[in-house]
Each structure stands twice: as structure tokens, then as C-alpha cells.
Amino acid sequence: MNAIDREKLIQAAFESLKNSYAPYSCFNVAAAVLTDSGKIYTGVNVENASYPCGICAERNAIFHAAACGERKIIACAVVGGKNGEVTDYCPPCGVCRQVMREFCEPEKMTVVLAKSTDDYKEMTLAQLLPESFGPENL
């Protein structure tokens, strides 16, 4: 993924952050996933008064992509912070890491944790979810 693509992916996540619905935790998160078709899909965390009914931004973005027929994720950018103010990196939870695993090659998928389009760190999903279980294990 080149610098222009990375910046575009991070920017898509930041643009979606305002749509996060987090009235209970006040911790807003947005994600943008890049698919092998070259399209970017976004998602935000959506909370619910019945807490288990909510969804994380990363899964929301991935499910959005899947609902549009996409099946392979190349990269995911995640941004988030208290009251929508991004002051630190926001890594995906374990459930989101496992969902990412369903739609990628872990050694090749890039996960970008961003504070801004200029301040980010990245790793592969294999680094975030070592010894993972995937479709090929069934």
C-alpha cells in the first residue's frame, strides 16, 4: 500500500468518526477498510442501551464491505478517542481481530492505527493475532 492509499484510508476513517454513536462510553471509534477491489468501506462504533447489542467500528466497516460483495480485506485504518478526540492509537479488540482474520491473509493485511494522517503506526494482522484460527482450519 503506497503513501497516497494510506493517507486516503486514514482520512476516510477520520471523516467517519463524527458518525460514531457512543452515548454510554463516550469513546468514539471509526474504521476504514481497503478491499482487493480498491474500494474503501467505513464503519463506526454504535452503542446500545443493551450493551451487547452494540458493534465496533472495525466490524461495522468489514460487514459493510461484505454486504457490498467484498470478500478480501487488504488494510484497515482505525482511529478513536474519548469524545471523538484522537490523542492516542486505538487498537482493535480481540473480536474485531478475529473478524478481520476471516477476510484476509494475516501476514499480508496491514492494520494502521492513526492519531492523524501523519502520525500512525502499522503492523500486520498476523502480528496482532498470532497463531490465529481461520477458514483453512476447518
Q: Quick one: pLDDT at residue 108?
A: 95
From the CB of residue 38, how many other CB atoms can be counted at a distance below 10 Å?
Answer: 8
Give the active site residue among 7, 15, 47, 58. Answer: 58
Question: How would you classify the pairing of strands 73-82 and 40-44?
Answer: unpaired
Residue with cell 484510508: 9
Q: Which helix (H) or strand (E) holds 8?
A: helix 3-16
For each successive 10 residues of the chain (138 residues), what is the average pLDDT?
A: 76 98 98 96 98 97 98 97 98 98 97 97 97 93
Whether 58 is catalytic is yes
Judge if pTM exceeds 0.75: yes
**Domain 3-125, classified CATH 3.40.225.10, yes or no:** no
User: What does the domain layout of the chain look like in residue ranges?
Assistant: 3-125
